[in-house]
Structure 1
Amino acid sequence: MNVVKLEDLIGTEREVKDDNWKSRRFLLKDDNVGFSLHDTVLYAGTETYIWYKHHIEAVYCIEGEAEIETLKDGKKYQIKPGTMYCLDGHEKHYLRAKTDFRVVCVFNPALVGNEVHDEEGVYRLPEESK
């Protein structure tokens, strides 16, 4: 059994930040459950280009509002509390936070913990980071 409190992640190596977001990572690859689980906040007014080339991500919004724009077709999706979206086609997209936007994210394969988006918007696999 693994029990983790959000307050215990803040300020540790399991809290990863960049200019647009912070991600508190409850479960990672080393936890051996087959996926990773994150509590993520994107800051109001930010736009993040993302392409999960190697991962499937499911996201459940618990606070705030954002817009996703998929680049292939230009479709825009409004996301608010109670909405789930899943990037199951490795969609390149922009995520625009209208307000501070808090979500719970699940990644498969699991992240190792220190990932941030590279210049292509990708989380690299550990073997590609060498």
Structure 2
Amino acid sequence: MIVRTLKECEQSERRVVAENWESTRMILKEDQMGFSFHITTIYKGTDTHIHYQNHLESVYCISGEGEIEVVGGEVYPIQPGTLYVLDKHDEHYLRAYKKGDMVMACVFNPPLTGQETHDSNGVYPLIE
């Protein structure tokens, strides 16, 4: 059994901070669960280009408001209780409104190793 608290994960190498976001990776590839689980904060007033070419992601908004814009497609509002799934490696922009940060619960398949950050194309590398 694995038992961890968000607080202890935030105080470890499992917390990764980037310019527009931070992510506390509570379950990683090394845990051998077949997925990774993260609590991610998208900083208020930011616009982040993302294109997970190597991963599928499911995201649930816990708090805050913003939107996701699929490149060449729809714009969807995000608010607490919204779930979105990037099931087709959807290239998108994730925006947090200026009212406050968005806090999201995220699941990745295949699982992340822990230190991934977006490259210049918005991609996480696939680390075997």
Question: If the length of structure 1 is used for normalisation, what is the TM-score?
Answer: 0.95
- Show structure 1 runs of 5+ residues with no match: none
The equivalent of 1:11 in structure 2 is: 11
Distance 1:120 1:49 in 2: 8
State the one-letter code of the partner of 1:69: E
Instruction: Give SS of 1:52's match.
Output: coil
Shift in Å, 1:12: 1.3
- CA displacement, residues 35-91 of structure 1 (integer Å, 9 cap, x when unaligned): 000000000000000001010000000000111000032x10001001100000101
Instruction: Give SS of 2:124's match.
Output: coil
Distance 1:72 1:115 in 2: 26
The equivalent of 2:86 in structure 1 is: 87
Distance 2:72 2:111 in 1: 26
The equivalent of 1:101 in structure 2 is: 102
- Show structure 2 runs of 5+ residues with no match: none
Once the two structures are overlaid, the 10-residue window that deviates more, 64-73 or 47-56, is 64-73
Distance 1:47 1:18 in 2: 13
Aligned residues: 126
Shift in Å, 1:21: 0.5
Distance 2:72 2:4 in 1: 38
Distance 1:5 1:72 in 2: 39
Alignment RMSD (CA, Å): 0.8
Q: Does 2:119 align with 1:118?
A: yes
Instruction: Give SS of 1:126's match.
Output: coil
Regions of 4+ moved over 4 Å:
none
Question: If the length of structure 2 is used for normalisation, what is the TM-score?
Answer: 0.96
Distance 1:5 1:91 in 2: 31
The equivalent of 2:59 in structure 1 is: 59
